[in-house]
Amino acid sequence: MLLHIPEVLSAAQVAEIRRQLDAADWTDGRETVGVQGAQVKRNRQLPEHSPLARELGQLVLDALARNPMYFSAALPLRAVPPLFNRYEGGEHYGLHVDGSVRNLPQGGRLRTDLSCTLFLCEPEDYDGGELVVVDTYGTHEVKLPAGDMVLYPSTSLHKVEPVTRGARVCSFFWVQSMVRDDWQRHLLYELDQNIQKVRAKLGESEEAVGLTGHYHNLLRQWAEL
């Protein structure tokens, strides 16, 4: 499931993050990937262990903790602290698939079920830079307003097209879901969305309670904690 999550950050939050990022020192993005990724990756990143990266990453996670659409779609168990990247002057990231396991800074590891890209600049501020995701339904180009995020399975091949004007600035990170299987997550998301619609029309009706019971029994069956 590829999902657009609007308004994760407010305009004021985006402006403050950009103010700090635009004054930051960036490093070669190839420092955070393996041998295969380094062959096709040309961008810059905020050093992942820098105090600024930790501070801004926590701001992103706090915003997501208040976002019901994100929780419903991702069913997050744990997440890699958000990272930040910048593309300009023809920089790009060729077709690749994200690594299946990431080390966590606090120790331990995370299985990458979902990849997230949070856009921190407006589409008209740069040319190119589309996130291209390839899945069984075809090829999808993603270029979202500042503050919006796209969520997609980490199993997907994807790339970032060259930026030919301006700068593309984003936050990105990975999530391990309570539900490993993408199709099961999709079913739970659609069921949850329909439960909300039933509640809006009928309140806490017999139908809403029954559907909610089915939702939680499926989650109980599929969740890995």
| CA-only gyration radius of the chain, Å | 18
Residue 30: pLDDT band by 50, 70, 90 thresholds? Answer: confident
Residue range 84-110: average pLDDT?
A: 95
Instruction: Give yes or no: residues 122 and 211 share one domain.
Output: no
Residue 91: closest CA among 19, 166, 198: 166
CATH code (residue 62)? 2.60.120.620
Query: What is the reported pLDDT for 101?
Result: 97
How do residues 53-76 score in pLDDT, each as one tens digit? 999 999 999 999 999 999 999 999
Q: Please name the residues in contact with 142: beta carbons below 8 A apart, sequence gap of 6 or more.
A: 2, 4, 117, 130, 131, 132, 133, 150
Containing structural domain, residue 133? 3-177
Instruction: Give yes or no: residues 149 and 213 share one domain.
Output: no
Residue 106: pLDDT band by 50, 70, 90 thresholds? Answer: confident
How do residues 33-56 score in pLDDT, each as one tens digit? 666 666 788 999 999 889 999 999
How many structural domains comprise the chain? 2
pTM, two decimals, is 0.94
Instruction: Give yes or no: residues 55 and 151 share one domain.
Output: yes
Burial class (CB in 10 A: 0-12, 13-18, 19+), 83: buried
